[in-house]
Amino acid sequence: MSEIKEEIMIRAKGLRKTYGDFVAVDGIDFEVKKGESFGLLGPNGAGKSTTMRMIASTSLRSGGELEILGKDPNHFGPEIRAHLGVVPQQDNLDRELKVWENLMTYGRFFGLKGKWLKAKVDELLEFAQLEEKRNTKTDELSGGMKRRLTIARGLVNEPEIFMLDEPTTGLDPQARHILWDRLFRLKELGVTLVITTHYMDEAEQLCDRLVVMDKGKIMAEGSPAALIKQYSSKEVLEVRFGSENNKSASEKLKGVGDRLEVLPDRILVYSEDGEKALEQITKMGLHPITSLVRRSSLEDVFLRLTGRTLVD
């Protein structure tokens, strides 16, 4: 990535958003560089979508500083949005229009015209693999097709920053992989990506750098690998002694690995070498019903930082 100029696309400092007494975003700082793929992770209600809307210049901030391409979205909304492509969490395609008309009218909203726009629409239909559906009304498309069309629509103005709010939620694995492939291609073209997601594998696949948000604050920041290194161990050993015995077994396991986490159904042993930890346990005379050694993932980091309690 060294050939990419260190141009700052988005800069937030002490960024805040409140709705009455409720603090949605509580003073966050971050920067996104040109060509970077930046992820916002966090449980529901962490403030990801609110942050996305403020960057997209469709929500005015309550405090702090925000600059997109060096401009303040409070004063240059329409101008900044000309540089952005936005894929909202829920598809908001125009249901009264056909597939190609959706792209065409969206292009017109940016003031794009004539031959250039027509060619662009054809190109995007190909990119989204929707050429055969061009005259179909969007209501009749499958979930994956709608998502691809929403993504294609967001590209009609050739954005420099492409923002996707949970792009693959609700899609089947095939559709997800097609989308990832499309996003990789955009990244190769130098488009800056800003992505929110619930899926840790998606974040590991797509993001160069990410922040983990919880309750409106940034809990951690770094590349997926660096975050795993900092907040988890290299490997995780999962052992099960049966739900009744897990607790008593965990007492004896103290000292094994770097850290233990006791869950109702299993015990997680965070360790640099999972097999070694398992050996240690067997030597202690303990015999788990099942055991599994796996690499530590972003999910472990995420759960450690944001807790395991359910957020609604």
Partner 1 sequence: MSLINTGIDTAISIAERRSGKLGSALSAGRPQAVFLRNVYALKSSNWLVVLSGFVEPVFYLLAFGYGLGTLIGNIALPDGTLVPYAAYIAPALLATSAMNGAIYDSTWNVFFKMHFGKIYQAMLSTSLGPLDVAMGEIGWALARGFVYALGFMAVVTPMGLIPSWWGLLAIPAAVLIAFGFASIGMGVTSYLKNFHQMDWVNFVMLPMFLFSGTFYSLSVYPDWLRICIESLPLYQAIAMIRGFTLGVIDGALVGHILYFVVMIVLGLTFTTRRLRSLFLK
Q: Which stretches of the chain bind partner 1, using CB under 8 A?
A: 19, 56, 58-60, 74-79, 81-84, 86, 88, 90, 92-98, 101, 104-106, 108-113, 116, 123, 127, 137, 155, 157-159, 185, 189-191
Q: What is the DSSP string of 122-136?
A: HHHHHHTT-GGGTTS
Shortest separation between residue 78's beta carbon and partner 1, angstroms: 4
The two tokens of residue 60 are: 């005015």
Q: What gap in Å lies between CA 252 and CA 248, rounded to an integer? A: 7
Shortest separation between residue 178's beta carbon and partner 1, angstroms: 16
**Which C-beta is closer to partner 1: that of 92 or that of 142?**
92
Alpha helices in the chain (DSSP H): 48-55, 73-81, 99-109, 114-127, 143-154, 173-188, 200-206, 224-231, 246-253, 274-283, 298-306
**Which C-beta is closer to partner 1: that of 80 or that of 239?**
80
Shortest separation between residue 77's beta carbon and partner 1, angstroms: 6
Q: Checking phi first, is residue 266 left (phi over 0); if not, alpha (psi -120 to 50) or beta? A: beta
The two tokens of residue 247 are: 């607790």
Quick one: DSSP state of residue 167? T
Which residues have C-beta within 8 Å of that of residue 271, sequence separation ≥ 6?
233, 234, 235, 236, 237, 256, 257, 258, 277
Shortest separation between residue 115's beta carbon and partner 1, angstroms: 9
**Which C-beta is closer to partner 1: that of 193 or that of 200?**
193
**Which C-beta is closer to partner 1: that of 108 or that of 252?**
108
**Which C-beta is closer to partner 1: that of 62 or that of 223?**
62
**Which C-beta is closer to partner 1: that of 17 or that of 176?**
17
Shortest separation between residue 251's beta carbon and partner 1, angstroms: 52
Q: What are phi and psi of 231, to 5 degrees?
A: -110, -5
Shortest separation between residue 270's beta carbon and partner 1, angstroms: 42
